[in-house]
A and B are shown apart, each in its own frame.
Chain A
Amino acid sequence: MNGKLFLKNQLPVLLMNLTGMLALVLFLTANGNPVSVSLLVVVVWMAVIILYFTTLYFTRKKHLCKLLEMAEQLEEKYLLPEVMEIPERADEEVFYRILKMAEKSMLEKIGGVQRERKEYKEYIEQWIHEVKTPITAMKLLCENNDSPFVREMLAELENINRFTEQALYYARSEHTEKDYLIREIELRDVVHSAIADNKYLLRQNNVVITADNIDSNVYTDDKWVRFILNQIISNAVKYRTEKPVLRFFTVRENDRILLSVEDNGMGISESDLPRIFEKGFTGQNGRMIQSSTGIGLYLCKRLCDKLGIGLTAYSEGKGTTITLSFHINDFVTGVQG
């Protein structure tokens, strides 16, 4: 509480007292009292006023500081009226009612936004569910009528499917509730299904693939990891150079299993490398390729953070290695988390 401001607020009371004092002194002098009597009265009056204002100042200050501190400690500040004491002073009581009103309208607004977001998420999930039916139908139609033209369509279909999945996982990553299921999975199976998801895209671009020596089991959600691998594969194809090569391998390192995806593409420059997982970051490569959105890797990182998987990128001029590191021992906390 600001002392000066406090005094300024008390100015009318102070002036009233001073006027009273002046009137009393005039009255006493007019009645023939000696100056010493007037002086005594003034001194006593002043002392009482000073005492009154200092006590008032310090009790108010203590009370308000407590309130301020309480508000600062609260994470959701608008909930202050729930924790503070109901004030007894008339003016404070009005402020309390105002705070209550503000709190109520805030809560209503938050509830509304949350409901809207939930509905939107549900809509996205449902939309994706629905769009997968025509995608499946088209894929079956294409595969039943093989031709070079159809193969190109199949590669595009894989892209469409990946983009729809991206929207789905974006919606899921926004939500705080848990949407995954941790269980023991064979990394080899996930890698092979991710490759199968991009079969036509990879074949069309003549990508040479090695995926031997992947013999590790980890505890995680296979759908999420498959989605992450799909994004990495699509990036490798997007930023490929001539004679693209893609190598999948696992390494065991202390209490971790590292799954790496290594390509020989255009690589990531040193200055871009620390920022590739940022939302909307496209970097030098992205500027060259129109279709970069800066969402793919950002989403991978978010999903990895949720699942407790480490995600790192390594690049030295040419080629990129993206590594997912799975903890072996903390799956129990993963299940509970």
Chain B
Amino acid sequence: MKQKILIVEDDFTIQTQLKTLLSGNGYEVSAVTDFSNTIEQVKSFLPHLVLLDIKLPGNSGFDICSQIRTFSDMPIIFVTSSNTDMDELNSIMLGGDAFITKPYNTAILLAKIAALLRRAYHLEQAEVFTWNGATLHLESSSIEYNGQRAELTKNELKILYYLFKNAGKICTRNDIVDFLWDSQLYIDDNALSVNMTRIRGKLEAIGLTDFIKTKHGQGYTL
């Protein structure tokens, strides 16, 4: 089942772009368009999580937050452009779960959403990915094929994780480096090449030849 997210944001561009971003990441998204009865829309959509702006026409985000809290414990992320301490304190006092200031880093926003949803609904995070007989174990940081195992470094694991998650699709070098940066691993293009060579060596050692294919001028794919 898809997780539902409600966007309460009065700027139209941000609203639509957030919709694109979140639905692209596998969420079911709805946005409030009529701010006179936000609460009814929350009640009818029953989202798993709310992205809430503070400055809104009509009731402020703080009011909406405290109203939601009267009937639900759903995670609420305050997304605002004012980064004063008062607003941040208020948002915590009223039961907001996170406070993110604009302009936000989308990777951080997505990570926060995923983390809050996991915590609130006790979702299991997939620890194991399988593709063409090879299994990637996140917890033990290793890859397994035909009973043979290879240990992976942090960088190698993250690269393979990204490729497994997007298995079948072409991942550009830029996408991979972006993902690594968002995971706080600051790797440049050269280091990516080094890591790819090392990963291929390890894969070959456990009998996975040509597991990662290079699409010339485009990137990599599993």
Contacts and interface: CB of A to CB of B under 8 A. Distances in A.
Interface of A: 125, 128-130, 132-137, 139-141, 143-144, 146, 151, 157, 161, 179-181, 192-193, 195-197, 199, 202-203, 206, 208-211, 223
Interface residues of B, number: 33
Interface in B110-124: none
Contacts of B85: 179-181
A157 B105 CA distance: 12
A137 B17 contact: yes
B88 A181 contact: yes
B83 to A, nearest CB: 6
Contacts of B188: 206, 208
Prevailing SS type, chain A contact patch? helix
Contacts of A211: 184, 186
B107 to A, nearest CB: 7
A136 B81 contact: yes
Interface string B61-86: 00000000000000000000111110
Prevailing SS type, chain B contact patch? helix
29 contacts: A129-B82, A130-B81, A132-B81, A132-B101, A133-B14, A135-B102, A136-B14, A136-B81, A136-B102, A136-B103, A136-B104, A140-B13, A140-B18, A140-B106, A144-B24, A161-B103, A180-B85, A181-B88, A192-B184, A195-B184, A196-B105, A196-B108, A199-B105, A199-B181, A199-B182, A202-B186, A203-B178, A206-B189, A208-B186
B216 to A, nearest CB: 18
Interface of B: 11, 13-14, 17-18, 20-21, 24, 55, 81-85, 88-89, 101-108, 174, 177-178, 181-182, 184, 186, 188-189
Contacts, number: 83
Contacts of A179: 84-85
Nearest to A172: B84
A132 to B, nearest CB: 4
Contact of B81 (A133, A195, A208): A133
Contacts of B107: 196
A195 B103 contact: no
Contacts of B83: 223
Given A130-B81, A196-B107, 18 more contacts: A129-B55, A129-B81, A132-B81, A132-B101, A133-B14, A136-B11, A136-B81, A136-B102, A136-B104, A139-B103, A140-B18, A140-B106, A141-B17, A143-B21, A143-B106, A144-B24, A197-B105, A223-B83
A141 B18 CA distance: 9
A38 B78 CA distance: 102
B172 to A, nearest CB: 9
A202 B189 CA distance: 13
Nearest to B183: A192
Q: Name the residue in B18, B24, B83, B182 with the highest tally of chain A Cβ atoms < 10 Å from its Cβ.
A: B83
Nearest to B79: A136
B50 to A, nearest CB: 18
A157 B103 contact: yes
A335 to B, nearest CB: 13
A81 B213 CA distance: 87
B103 to A, nearest CB: 4
A197 B184 CA distance: 12
B104 A144 contact: no
B186 A140 contact: no
A209 B81 contact: no
Contacts of A161: 103
Contacts of B101: 132
B104 A203 contact: no
Contacts of A134: 13
Contacts of B108: 193, 196
Contacts of B106: 139-140, 143
Given A144-B20, A199-B181, A206-B188, A132 B105 contact: no
Contacts of A128: 81
Contacts of B189: 206
B52 to A, nearest CB: 15
B105 A137 contact: no
Nearest to B177: A203
A203 B181 contact: yes
A196 B182 CA distance: 7
Across the A-B interface, give the 10 residue pairs with the lowest CB-CB distance, nearest first.
Answer: A132-B81, A140-B17, A209-B186, A137-B13, A136-B103, A136-B102, A181-B85, A132-B102, A139-B103, A196-B105
Contacts of A181: 85, 88-89
A179 to B, nearest CB: 7
Nearest to A137: B13
Contacts of A129: 55, 81-82
B181 A133 contact: no
Contacts of B21: 140, 143-144
Contacts of A133: 11, 14, 81, 102
A325 to B, nearest CB: 24
A151 B173 CA distance: 14
Q: Name the residue in B82, B103, B108, B184 with the highest tally of chain A Cβ atoms < 10 Å from its Cβ.
A: B103
Contacts of A197: 105
